[in-house]
């Protein structure tokens, strides 16, 4: 498994001069998602996205991406998910192949993406304005929390960001239950990747829809985060930054 951080040698410029030391940096590498689909005797393969991400929980990231993009409706539609073994050395553990079950029907309009998405943007890989929108049902929930509950989440999120503690360079998304207990947290250089990892992790546990949880994110509450949360059925979102 590729590490999420890397120890490198740096030169630190201070008022006393230049200091040579080692430092931990967050890793950012491409992840290509390849999709296999069709009947057993007519299988097709298509590369549907390349996203810049922090290695770790890659299968969760892929599942969350496929779900929030509307390509799959549940984890039950997945036949298998593995790293591709027949790749170049620099692509090792950077290419994931997902095999859908033969009875899964695909909307080819969901594939209308350019192949590259940066870590800073969850929608800039889209090939048209219309493809930015994902169909999702209105979130139904009786879930209620207090303002004090919301204000407590930021510190809880920060305390649980172990990789950020060493690098200062990662976003985080986390789910909390009604008691304020941390259920799942994921970090990534891309805020949309961090949320896809959380949603993918809950898909693996068959917990979606997530109507009884609060989502807390570490940065600005951007459009793609709200949309991904809505697809997963999350009814309350809190963020450090402004919407």
* Residues with a known catalytic role: 121
DSSP the chain: ---SEEEEEEEEEETTEEEEEEEEEE--EEEEEEEEES-TTS-EEEEEEEEEE-SSSHHHHHHHHHHHTTS-SSGGGEEEEEE-SSS-GGGTTSEEEEEEPTT----GGGG-B-SEE-TT-SSTTBSSSGGG----PPP-------HHHHHHHHHHHHHH-HHHHHHS--EEEEEE-TT--EEEEEEESSHHHHHHHHHHHHHHTT--S-TT-EEEESS---HHHHHHHHHTT--EEEESS--
Nearest Cα to 113, choosing from 129, 97, 100, 98? Answer: 129
User: 44-53 and 5-14 as β-strands: parallel, antiparallel, unpaired?
Assistant: unpaired
Counting Cβ atoms within 10 Å, is residue 196 exposed (0-12), middle (13-18) or buried (19+)?
buried
């Amino acid at each position: 498994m590729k590490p999420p951080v890397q120890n490198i040698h740096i030169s630190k410029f201070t008022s006393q001069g230049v200091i040579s030391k080692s430092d931990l940096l967050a890793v950012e590498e491409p992840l290509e998602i390849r999709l296999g689909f069709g009947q057993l005797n007519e299988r097709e393969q298509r590369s549907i996205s390349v996203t810049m991400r922090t290695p770790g929980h890659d299968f969760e990231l892929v599942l969350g991406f496929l779900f929030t993009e509307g390509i799959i409706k549940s984890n039950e539609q997945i036949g298998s998910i593995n790293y591709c073994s027949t790749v170049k050395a620099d692509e090792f553990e950077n290419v994931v192949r997902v095999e859908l079950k033969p009875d899964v029907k695909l909307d080819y309009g969901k594939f209308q993406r350019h192949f590259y998405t940066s870590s800073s943007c969850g929608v800039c890989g889209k090939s048209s304005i219309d493809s930015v929108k994902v169909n999702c049902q209105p979130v139904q929930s009786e879930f209620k929390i207090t303002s004090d509950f919301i204000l407590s989440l930021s510190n809880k999120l920060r305390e649980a960001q172990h990789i950020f503690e060493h690098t200062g360079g990662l976003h985080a998304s986390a789910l909390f239950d009604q008691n304020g207990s941390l259920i799942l947290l994921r970090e990534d250089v891309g805020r949309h990747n961090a949320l896809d990892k959380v949603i993918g992790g809950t898909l693996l546990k068959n917990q979606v829809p997530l109507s009884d949880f609060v989502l807390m994110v570490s940065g600005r509450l951007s459009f793609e985060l709200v949309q991904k949360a809505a697809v997963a059925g999350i009814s309350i979102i809190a963020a450090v930054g402004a919407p």
